[in-house]
């Protein structure tokens, strides 16, 4: 092959001349897909932080919800839980530290841009994440964490130490929200409160009350700041102040719908999850007190019980309204005896009530999946943005994924803290302070506000429910009927009154109603149960007779942390009374 050297030399000279005309600068080495902090849009940064925060909450609340029978838990035992292994917690742990790192970068940038509201938001969100990590694990990497290449193997800090820092972060949020002159630059993208300083301040003080309350049993000194917060009452006390992450209805690119909607309202597919029989029973049947042991025999009519809670058609959506065709194939437990360790005969077993078609799974049911996809009850209108249960029993396999005039099509919320939660906390503290009459008043206010929140949810996100086409002329009765609400509230207060002066009996009523109002928030359900031991009548594990106090009181450390951190000091052991978080004295026997 003959090479023309003259032409080659000319080409090289021309290319060299062309390149020499353009000087490569440091700015040219910046990846446009990874912008530097100095060029970051702080409002868009906040938007990303809040979305990541919602992902953390979504991955976290289900674990507490499963153990407290709010969500279905597969079991088979607390000592060997199939879905609570170290690898189960990788995502939530990763979400937590990724978001915390982003917040720590965001706060100084926000302050330098005089957007102190965004900085204050950062302190509130990081306080919640750190506090929740302690609530789930106790000691965690904190002081030596988030240092990047300076420390790949951070040691743990005690849960008490982290909690103390959580309180200071919340105080910092309050301080920053109090700045205005010269620091009142508008916040453009705040999914929670649209940059409202007052609401963020109230949230910070409410979370401070929450974290102080959780230490009550091991630190009597928290009584003073708790009382100060209650006296000041600058807390979340109205629905407009609720701390809720709001989802949209977009299907793809991105999917902005509520995770429980996306996972269960799927064109051509059955619901992807089971609901908990115990929680279904608690809402739809327990207060009926008529053979509430959960027999599946359709001859036992529980229709009165099924109608008592005004929230049940908003919480749950049925694909069937009766138990026709129930057999060994669709529900094997229907032909099995109740386990011998179900000593309380009022506790549900197999199907949650005798009529009505509610279809979930018992706590700890580790059996395979039968052909019951078209039977399963799934998430309803509140808070997942699903369908309102109008007795139509339309399959969620529909081509639109369940969306219609009776559905918000996934525009649900994460109820991270609602005003009724604050009222339940007040009821608890008033009861502990010996003010039973005032505790009763707060209990009633909390229950009424929960019902109002649930029934008003569709309108709050811009959807209007049509009148349900059902067999009885009771559309008002089922949705917003004053009589129905009064019947439910009177039933709750009558239970409270029957408790007399027995603090435990009265606390059981308060915590059961708090538990029902917490639908969509397993974090607070798990915290409250470990802290108080109530509700007292949880359904036992169907697969195993668990040892006394064998309940999982905190979780395994994630596999990613355990395997990759050279300073990891050893995995926890699930078992009898072990692995408690610092604020849990362990004196309460949990199921």
> pLDDT tens string for the chain (591 positions)?
444 434 444 434 443 443 344 444 545 555 554 456 666 789 999 999 999 999 999 999 999 999 999 999 999 999 999 999 999 999 999 999 999 999 999 999 999 888 999 999 999 999 999 999 999 999 999 999 999 889 999 999 999 999 999 999 999 999 999 987 777 677 889 999 999 999 999 999 999 999 999 999 999 999 999 999 999 999 999 999 999 999 998 888 788 999 999 999 988 888 999 999 999 999 988 887 543 344 333 333 344 445 678 899 899 999 988 887 787 788 878 778 889 999 887 788 887 766 678 899 999 999 988 889 999 999 999 999 998 888 788 888 874 544 455 668 899 999 999 999 999 999 999 999 999 999 999 999 999 999 999 999 988 888 777 655 444 444 544 555 677 888 889 989 999 999 999 999 999 999 999 999 999 999 999 999 999 999 999 999 999 999 988 999 999 999 999 999 999 988 988 876 678 999 999 889 998
pLDDT score at 5: 39
Phi, psi of 5 (to 5 degrees): -65, -30
Can you give the residue range of the structural domain that contains 151? 37-235
In a domain, 544, yes or no: no
In a domain, 507, yes or no: yes
pLDDT score at 255: 86
Q: Which of 202, 235, 268 corresponds to the end of one domain?
A: 235
Same domain, 391 and 297: yes
Phi, psi of 219 (to 5 degrees): -145, 90
Same domain, 135 and 263: no
pLDDT score at 36: 63
Same domain, 328 and 466: yes
Q: How many domains does the chain have?
A: 2
- 83 neighbors 89 (Cβ within 8 angstroms): no
| HEC-encoded secondary structure of 556-584 | CCCHHHHHHCCCCCCCCCCCCCCCCCCCC
d(CA 17, CA 443): 82
Q: Cβ of 280: how many Cβ atoms within 10 Å?
A: 28
pTM: 0.91
Question: What letter would DSSP give residue 414?
Answer: E
Looking at the chain, the number of H-run helices and the number of E-run strands are 19, 6
CATH number (domain holding residue 137):
1.25.40.390
pLDDT score at 462: 81
Kindly give, in sequence order, each residue whose CB lies less than 8 Å from that of residue 351, ignoring residues fewer than 6 positions away. Answer: 277, 294, 296, 323, 326, 331, 333, 334, 358, 359
pLDDT score at 477: 43
Same domain, 416 and 367: yes
Would you mind telling me the total number of residues written for the chain in this entry? 591
Same domain, 281 and 344: yes
Same domain, 91 and 129: yes
Same domain, 96 and 179: yes
Structure tokens at 5: 């050297």
3-state helix, strand, coil in the chain (%, to 5): 45, 5, 50
In a domain, 13, yes or no: no
d(CA 236, CA 242): 7
Kindly give, in sequence order, each residue whose CB lies less than 8 Å from that of residue 7, ignoring residues fewer than 6 positions away. Answer: none
3-state secondary structure of 246: strand
Same domain, 227 and 268: no
Same domain, 324 and 446: yes
Q: CB under 8 Å, gap of 24 or more: what pairs does 104-108 form?
A: 104/146, 105/37, 106/42, 106/45, 106/46, 106/49
d(CA 472, CA 38): 63
- 509 neighbors 494 (Cβ within 8 angstroms): no
Same domain, 215 and 279: no
- 187 neighbors 46 (Cβ within 8 angstroms): yes
Give the E-state strand segments of 133-272 in sequence order.
140-141, 156-157, 243-246
- 156 neighbors 548 (Cβ within 8 angstroms): no
Same domain, 369 and 497: yes
- 100 neighbors 146 (Cβ within 8 angstroms): yes
Short-list 479, 466, 475, 476, CA closest to 310: 479
Same domain, 370 and 322: yes
d(CA 305, CA 300): 11
Query: Between vectors from CA 59 to CA 54 and to CA 64, what angle results, nearest 5°?
Result: 115
- 302 neighbors 291 (Cβ within 8 angstroms): yes
């Amino acid at each position: 092959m003959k090479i023309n050297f003259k032409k080659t030399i000319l080409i090289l000279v021309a290319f060299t001349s062309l390149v020499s005309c353009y000087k490569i600068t440091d700015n040219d080495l910046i990846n446009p897909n990874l912008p530097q902090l100095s060029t970051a849009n702080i409002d868009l940064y906040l938007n990303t932080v809040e979305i990541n925060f919602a992902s953390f909450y979504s991955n976290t609340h289900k674990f507490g919800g499963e153990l407290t029978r709010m969500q279905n838990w597969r079991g088979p035992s607390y000592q060997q839980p199939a879905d609570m292994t170290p690898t189960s917690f990788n995502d939530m742990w990763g979400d937590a530290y990724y978001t915390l790192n982003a917040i720590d970068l965001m706060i100084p940038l926000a302050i330098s841009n005089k957007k102190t509201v965004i900085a204050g938001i950062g302190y509130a969100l990081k306080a919640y994440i750190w506090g929740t990590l302690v609530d789930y694990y106790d000691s965690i990497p904190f002081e030596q964490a988030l240092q990047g290449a300076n420390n790949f193997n951070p040691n743990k800090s005690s849960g008490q130490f982290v909690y103390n820092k959580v309180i200071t972060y919340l105080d910092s949020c309050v301080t920053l929200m109090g700045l205005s002159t010269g620091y009142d630059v508008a916040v453009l993208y705040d999914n929670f409160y649209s940059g409202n300083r007052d609401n963020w301040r109230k949230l910070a003080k409410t979370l401070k009350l929450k974290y102080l309350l959780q230490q009550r049993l091991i630190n009597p000194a928290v009584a003073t700041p708790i009382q100060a917060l209650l006296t000041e009452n600058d807390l979340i006390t109205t629905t407009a102040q609720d701390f809720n992450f709001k989802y949209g209805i977009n299907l793809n690119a991105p999917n902005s719908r509520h995770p429980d909607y996306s996972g269960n309202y799927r064109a051509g597919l059955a619901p992807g999850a089971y609901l908990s029989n115990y929680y279904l029973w608690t809402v739809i049947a327990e207060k009926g007190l008529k053979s509430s042991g959960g027999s599946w025999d359709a001859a036992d009519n529980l229709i009165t019980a099924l109608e008592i809670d005004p929230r049940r058609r908003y919480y749950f959506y049925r694909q069937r309204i009766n138990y026709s065709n129930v057999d060994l194939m669709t529900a094997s437990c229907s032909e099995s005896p109740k386990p011998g360790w179900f000593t309380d005969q009022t506790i549900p077993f197999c199907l949650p009530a005798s009529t009505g078609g509610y279809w979930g799974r018992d706590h700890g049911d580790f059996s395979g999946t039968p052909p019951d996809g078209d039977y399963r009850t799934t998430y309803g209108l509140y808070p997942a943005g699903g369908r309102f249960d109008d007795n139509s029993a339309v399959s969620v396999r529909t081509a639109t994924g369940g969306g219609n005039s009776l559905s918000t099509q996934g525009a649900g919320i994460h109820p991270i803290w609602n005003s009724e939660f604050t009222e339940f906390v007040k009821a608890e503290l008033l009861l502990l302070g010996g003010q039973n009459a005032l505790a009763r008043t707060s209990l009633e206010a909390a229950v009424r506000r929960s019902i109002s929140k649930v029934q008003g949810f569709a309108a709050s996100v811009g959807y209007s429910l049509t009148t349900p086409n059902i067999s009885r002329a009771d559309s008002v009765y089922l949705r917003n009927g004053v009589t129905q609400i009064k019947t439910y509230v009177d039933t709750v207060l009558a239970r409270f009154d029957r408790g007399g002066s027995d603090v435990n009996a009265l606390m059981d009523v308060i915590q059961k109603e708090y538990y029902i109002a917490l639908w969509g928030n397993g974090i607070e359900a798990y915290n409250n149960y470990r802290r108080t031991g109530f509700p007292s009548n949880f359904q036992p594990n169907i697969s195993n007779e668990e040892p006394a106090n064998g309940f999982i009181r905190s979780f395994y450390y994630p596999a990613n942390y355990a395997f990759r951190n050279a300073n990891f000091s050893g995995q926890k052991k699930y078992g009898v009374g072990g692995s408690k978080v610092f604020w849990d004295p362990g004196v309460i026997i949990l199921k």
